[in-house]
């Protein structure tokens, strides 16, 4: 018998005219790891909710069709009963953690299932042990890192031993270290228990090695599904339906294209073998990269000298930071969660006052600026658009900052219309921003900051919650603004985009600057990556593996293809 059967299922939320899912048919076997992906708004979260019963039991709407788990129709079983065999892990680790103590978090679902105390003890140690949290049992979730919090959420789920685990974007809010921790946890669960695991993700690179089956959703429909080999045999369709294409798959596909031989690689080891086959004994003789000289002349836009910042609870978020950014530079800031990136950004436009040191914007101390003048110079786009949106229409929202800064009515009207068009938001001009998707909301808040025409743009995690295509749109936009002369600082965890778009990189750890220089050099420096606790992009890992062939220093798919095309033995 199939473990899970989606039998021609359609669902429409009562708040929407559109069907979130349309005539979904899928079958999942026991013990399979299924990766569900697709662009924003494709219906991925609704897919998860159908499994854990939140749809149709937790949301009003119209349902057609049935979902069967072990032959039972879950559309007729209450959520609390479904929870006996389906465990759920959500995107935001903090929103799903109920208690302020790690042990209590694991105990709670066990108490709900009426497990006796002796058995609880056993399950607590087993699940926390499996997720590597046993030594943290006396801590509170607040004292854990993002990855540890998400592992706690998973530990709490597996303690109840459900036969199915549903994870809705479990790594999207995590830094690379947190992401790796969760991946390893999933692997351990798969090896230890025979759980059926359904994972919804945008960022699927690291998950590919574990997937038994892939499902691509687009506009509420399953457009491609199958085992990874079969799924990735239709790369053109994946791109057409805006599905994510991991770098390894993209390179493998493009090598197949230029050589005429079929390669199905999902990881760097497989790609190394494939490339060695293609190039034979050839080696890149000269590997000279464009040496980027960060212009040491020009006007200084941002200058930090020995800046430290200590929060009220004595957390030292910045520790003697010194940076100089010239006008017109585009700089990436990366680092694990808690390394001080956001604190650094907030000191630039006066939201936080440093405990010591000095910050100058265009040669003038930040404290000498009036707040309105400073926010006009340094625009800061927050990570979560919900923190910024406060107006009734998208138009009003974009105009908000300009009104506060006293822009002329005519300029406001002109800027709003220009930005609506430029950010592809024209059709939403009179819509309430809260009714838009997260990706669209981000574009609205982004536009509202750009509208104030700041000389420096600080953007915090612009690609979080965006699908692959949207992430490229945003990065392209930042690049365009940079070409127009704006100074851009991008805080991000998505290193693939850093490698592709940003030449100067700052790496932070424990409130200090660990590296400040060329992106390529950073990603090519394996020991730096290790000491900064950062997982380098897949292409950098591949370049380490192929260093003896002269591939050292390559960081993008295009660069690999260029070199392989030169060396390939056809």
Partner 1 sequence: MSQLFQSFIFKSRTRTIFSKLNPASVLFLYIFLALADLLSFNLELLIAQTVISSLIVMITKAPLKFVKLFLIIATWFGLVLGLVTVFFGLYSGRIIYSFEFAGTLLRITSGNLTNGFAILIKLLNLGMLTAFYVFVADPRSIVSAMETIRVPFKFSLSLALVFRNLAIFAGDFEIINQAQRSRGLDINKGSIFQRAKKYVNIVIPLVFLALKRADDLVNALDTKGYDPKTGRTSYYSYRLMALDYAVIALSALLVIFVAIYTFFPHLIGISV
Between residue 73 and residue 92, which ones bind partner 1 under the rule CB under 8 A?
78-80, 83-84, 86-88, 90, 92
Give the other-Cβ count within 10 Å of 529's Cβ: 22
122 binds partner 1 (CB under 8 A): no
3-state secondary structure 476-534: HHHHHHHHCCCEEEEECCCHHHHHHHCCEEEEEECCEEEEEEEHHHHHHCHHHHHHCCC
390 binds partner 1 (CB under 8 A): yes
Interface with partner 1 in residues 31-60 (CB under 8 A): 52-54, 57-58
Residue 217 pairs in a beta bridge with 222
**Residue number with CB closer to partner 1 (97 or 216):** 97
- Residue count of the chain, please give it: 570
292 binds partner 1 (CB under 8 A): no
Q: Cβ 124 to partner 1, closest distance in Å?
A: 9
One of 6, 19, 382, 497 touching partner 1 (CB under 8 A)? 382
H or E stretch at 99: none
462 binds partner 1 (CB under 8 A): no
**Residue number with CB closer to partner 1 (220 or 401):** 401
E-state strands within 240-315: 300-310
**Residue number with CB closer to partner 1 (301 or 564):** 301
H or E stretch at 321: strand 316-326
Q: Quick one: angle between helices 117-130 and 176-192, nearest 10?
A: 130
Q: Cβ 110 to partner 1, closest distance in Å?
A: 7
CA R_g for the chain: 25
95 binds partner 1 (CB under 8 A): yes
* Total number of residues that touch partner 1 (CB under 8 A): 73
One of 434, 480, 483, 569 touching partner 1 (CB under 8 A)? 434
100 binds partner 1 (CB under 8 A): yes
Preceding peptide of 227 cis, ω within 30°:
no
One of 312, 363, 485, 527 touching partner 1 (CB under 8 A)? 312
94 binds partner 1 (CB under 8 A): yes
Q: Which stretch binds partner 1 (CB under 8 A): 312-320, 494-502, 511-519, 523-531?
A: 312-320
One of 25, 112, 424, 435 touching partner 1 (CB under 8 A)? 112
Gap between the Cα atoms of 193 and 188, Å rounded: 8
386 binds partner 1 (CB under 8 A): yes
One of 5, 42, 107, 331 touching partner 1 (CB under 8 A)? 107
358 binds partner 1 (CB under 8 A): no
Tally of CA atoms within 13 A in the half-sphere of 231 that contains its CB: 27
What are the residue ranges of helices labelled H in 260-393? 268-279, 341-348, 371-377
**Residue number with CB closer to partner 1 (138 or 236):** 138
173 binds partner 1 (CB under 8 A): no
Tally of CA atoms within 13 A in the half-sphere of 312 that contains its CB: 1
Placement of tokens 């926010």 in the chain:
375
346 binds partner 1 (CB under 8 A): yes
Interface with partner 1 in residues 131-150 (CB under 8 A): 138-143
435 binds partner 1 (CB under 8 A): no
Placement of tokens 């149709």 in the chain:
56
104 binds partner 1 (CB under 8 A): yes
Let me know: does 84 contact 115? Beta carbons within 8 Å.
no
**Residue number with CB closer to partner 1 (243 or 511):** 511
Determine the distance from the C-alpha atom of residue 256 to the mean position of all C-alpha atoms in its chain, rounded to a whole number.
29
- Residue 120 class from Cβ within 10 Å (0-12 exposed, 13-18 middle, 19+ buried)? middle
Placement of tokens 């079983």 in the chain:
77
Q: Cβ 344 to partner 1, closest distance in Å?
A: 14
Gap between the Cα atoms of 301 and 449, Å rounded: 18
Interface with partner 1 in residues 242-281 (CB under 8 A): none
Name the phi and psi angles at 339, rounded to 5.
Answer: -85, -10
99 binds partner 1 (CB under 8 A): yes
Let me know: does 454 contact 379? Beta carbons within 8 Å.
yes
Determine the distance from the C-alpha atom of residue 295 to the mean position of all C-alpha atoms in its chain, rounded to a whole number.
31
**Residue number with CB closer to partner 1 (78 or 298):** 78
110 binds partner 1 (CB under 8 A): yes
**Residue number with CB closer to partner 1 (103 or 180):** 103
Gap between the Cα atoms of 453 and 337, Å rounded: 30
543 binds partner 1 (CB under 8 A): no
**Residue number with CB closer to partner 1 (345 or 561):** 345
Interface with partner 1 in residues 393-432 (CB under 8 A): 400-401, 404-405
371 binds partner 1 (CB under 8 A): yes
Name the phi and psi angles at 431, rounded to 5.
Answer: -80, 155
The structure tokens listed for 130 are 């499996």
Q: Cβ 282 to partner 1, closest distance in Å?
A: 53
Q: Which stretch binds partner 1 (CB under 8 A): 248-256, 373-381, 422-430, 475-483?
A: 373-381
């Amino acid at each position: 018998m199939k473990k899970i059967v989606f039998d021609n299922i359609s669902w429409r939320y009562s708040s929407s005219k559109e069907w979130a899912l349309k005539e979904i048919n899928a079958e999942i076997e026991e013990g399979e790891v299924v990766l569900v992906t697709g662009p924003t708004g494709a219906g991925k979260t609704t897919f998860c909710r159908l499994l854990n019963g939140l749809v149709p039991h937790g949301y009003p709407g119209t349902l057609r069709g049935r979902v069967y788990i072990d032959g039972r129709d879950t559309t007729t079983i209450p959520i609390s009963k479904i929870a006996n065999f389906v465990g759920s892990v959500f995107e935001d680790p903090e929103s799903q953690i109920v208690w302020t103590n790690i042990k209590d978090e694991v105990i709670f679902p066990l108490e709900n299932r009426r497990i006796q105390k002796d058995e609880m003890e056993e399950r607590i140690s087993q699940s926390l042990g499996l997720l590597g949290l046993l030594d943290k049992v006396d801590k509170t979730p607040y004292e854990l890192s993002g990855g540890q919090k998400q592992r706690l959420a998973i530990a709490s789920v597996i303690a109840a031993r459900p036969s199915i685990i549903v994870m809705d974007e479990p790594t999207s809010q995590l830094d690379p270290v947190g992401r790796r921790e969760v991946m390893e946890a999933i692997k351990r669960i798969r090896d230890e228990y025979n759980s059926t695991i359904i994972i919804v993700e945008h960022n699927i690179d690291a998950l590919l090695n574990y997937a038994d089956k892939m499902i691509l959703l687009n506009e509420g429909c399953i457009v491609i599904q199958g085992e990874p080999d079969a799924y990735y045999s239709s790369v053109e369709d994946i791109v057409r339906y805006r599905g994510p294409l991991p770098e390894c798959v993209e390179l493998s596909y493009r090598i197949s294209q230029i050589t005429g031989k079929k390669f199905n690689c999902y990881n760097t080891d497989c790609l190394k073998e494939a490339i060695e086959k293609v190039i034979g004994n050839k080696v890149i003789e000269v590997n000279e990269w464009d040496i980027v000289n960060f212009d040491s002349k020009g006007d200084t836009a941002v200058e930090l000298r020995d800046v430290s910042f200590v929060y009220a609870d004595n957390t030292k978020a910045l520790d003697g930071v010194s940076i100089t950014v010239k006008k017109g530079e585009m700089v990436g800031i990366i680092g694990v969660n808690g390394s001080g990136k956001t604190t650094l950004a907030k000191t630039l436009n006066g939201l936080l006052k440093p405990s010591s040191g000095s910050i100058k914007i265009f040669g003038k101390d930040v404290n000498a600026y009036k707040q309105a003048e400073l926010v006009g110079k340094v625009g800061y786009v927050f990570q979560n658009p919900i923190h910024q949106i406060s107006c009734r229409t998208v138009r009003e929202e974009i105009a908000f900052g300009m009104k506060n800064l006293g822009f002329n009515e005519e300029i406001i009207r002109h800027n709003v219309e220009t930005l609506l068009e430029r950010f592809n938001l024209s059709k939403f001009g009179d819509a309430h921003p809260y009714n838009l998707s997260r990706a669209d909301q981000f574009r609205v808040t982004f536009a509202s900051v750009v509208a104030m025409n700041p000389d420096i743009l600080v953007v915090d995690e612009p690609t979080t919650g965006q699908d692959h295509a949207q992430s490229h749109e945003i990065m392209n936009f930042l690049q365009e603004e940079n070409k127009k002369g704006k100074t851009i600082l991008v805080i991000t965890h998505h290193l693939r985009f850093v490698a592709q778009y940003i030449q100067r990189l700052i790496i932070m750890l424990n409130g200090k600057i660990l590296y400040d220089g060329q992106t390529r050099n950073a990603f090519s420096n394996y020991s730096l990556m290790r000491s900064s606790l950062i997982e380098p992009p897949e292409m950098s890992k591949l370049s380490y593996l192929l260093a003896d062939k002269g591939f050292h220093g390559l960081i993008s798919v295009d660069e690999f293809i260029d070199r392989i095309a030169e060396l390939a033995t056809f």
